[in-house]
Amino acid sequence: MPKPAVTNANLQSNDNPDDDTKRIIFGELLRFWREIRGFSQESLAFEASSSTRHISRMENGKAMPSFAMIENLARVMELGNRDAAYLFLAAGHVPPAEPVAFEDSKYRWLRKAMTRTLRALDPNPSVLMDSFGTILMVNEAWASFCFDSMVDLSGGMAAITNYHDFLFTCQSFKDAQDLRMNSLSLILMAIKQESVLTGDVRYEALLERLMAYPEVPFGWKQRAANLEPMSSYRVQFEQNSQLVRYYNVSQSVSAMGPVSFVAEPRLIITTLFAEDEGREPVLPKIIPEHPLLYT
C-alpha cells in the first residue's frame, strides 16, 4: 500500500515535512498492529493507560509517541522484539536491546540451524558471535585453526571467548602494520558508534576493555574515519611458523528488513577465508578440543 502523500493540509505551520512523514508512517504501523490484535482505539487506549484521542492523533499522523508510550503499546499488543523494533524506528527511537539467552530452550531451533551453518562452512574457520563479539559457537575448522595458532595466553586461543579480543591479541603484524591497524581501527569505530547510538553500557564497557590493549592503533579515530566500513577486511596470523593472510568475512543472522541491525537476537557468523586460493584448508583427522565446538 503506497504511503499517503504529505500535503500542506496535514502540516502544521511549524512542522518539518520530514517529521510529518515520520508521524504518518508510525500511524500506519500502529493502526496495522491494533487491527491485527483486534483492539478498537478505545480498548487500546484503556489498556495502554492513554486516551482515545491520543491514539487517534497518533494513527492520523498528528502526534508522535514517547519512548515509554511505544514500550507500553508494544507490551499491550504483545509484539515481539522484531515488530516492536519497527514501531520504535518509525517514531525515530533506537529500540531497546534486551540481552538474549542463546541457550534458552525457545532458541533450540536456532542453535540447530547455526550448527548446520557452521558445519557447512568447514573447512574454513568460522565462529558464531553476538553483537558484542562474544563467541557462542565454533566449527571444527576453528578448533583446528586455534590449535595451529597457539599464542602465549592462558589456555591458548581456545580460552578467548570474545572475537574482538581475538583480533586484538592474536593477529600478527609482521610486514603488514597497516593491514592490522586498519582492522582494529574499524572495530573500535563500530563499537564507539554503537555505544553512542544505543547508550548501552555494555558497548561502553567493551570499548574501554579494548582500549586498554597496547595494540590500539595511534590515531585510530582518524584512520577509521578515512576507511569505508565493510563486512570483510584482511587479517593475518602466524600458523605453524608461517604467516597466513585471510579475508575476515562477516554475515548477519537476524530479522529481515531494516530492523536486522537493532532487533535481538543479533547474531554474526564470521569466517576466515585464506587469501591464497592455492592454500585450501584441510581438516585434520583428529579435531582438537574446543569448549565452544558445535555438537
Give 10-residue mean pLDDT values along the chain (295 residues).
36 52 87 95 96 96 93 93 86 78 83 94 94 93 80 53 90 73 91 87 94 93 87 80 87 65 74 85 82 85
Query: Residue 179: phi, psi to the nearest 5?
Result: -60, -45
Residue 156's pLDDT is 53
Residue 197's pLDDT is 82
Here the cell at position 285 is 583427522
Q: Among residues 213, 222, 224, 146, which one has the least CA distance to residue 183?
A: 224
d(CA 66, CA 75): 14
Residue 254's pLDDT is 67
* Cross-strand bridge partners of residue 236: 245
User: In what helix (H) or strand (E) does residue 214 lie, and over which residues does it extend?
Assistant: none
- Name the pTM for this structure: 0.74
Domain ranges in the chain?
Answer: 8-90, 105-274
Which top CATH class is 105-274? alpha beta
Helix (H, G, I), strand (E, B) or coil at 146: helix
Here the cell at position 192 is 564507539
d(CA 23, CA 7): 13
- Look at the alpha carbons of 285, 156, 159, 244 in this order and tell me if their dihedral is positive or negative: negative
Cβ–Cβ < 8 Å for 107, 100: yes
d(CA 77, CA 131): 27
The reply to whether 8-90 and 105-274 are identical in fold is: no
- How is domain 8-90 classified at the CATH fold level? 434 Repressor (Amino-terminal Domain) (1.10.260)
Residue 229's pLDDT is 74
Residue indicated by cell numbers 583427522: 285
List Cβ<8 Å contacts ≥24 apart for 159-162: 160/135, 161/134, 161/135, 161/292, 162/129, 162/132, 162/133, 162/134, 162/135, 162/206
d(CA 13, CA 67): 25
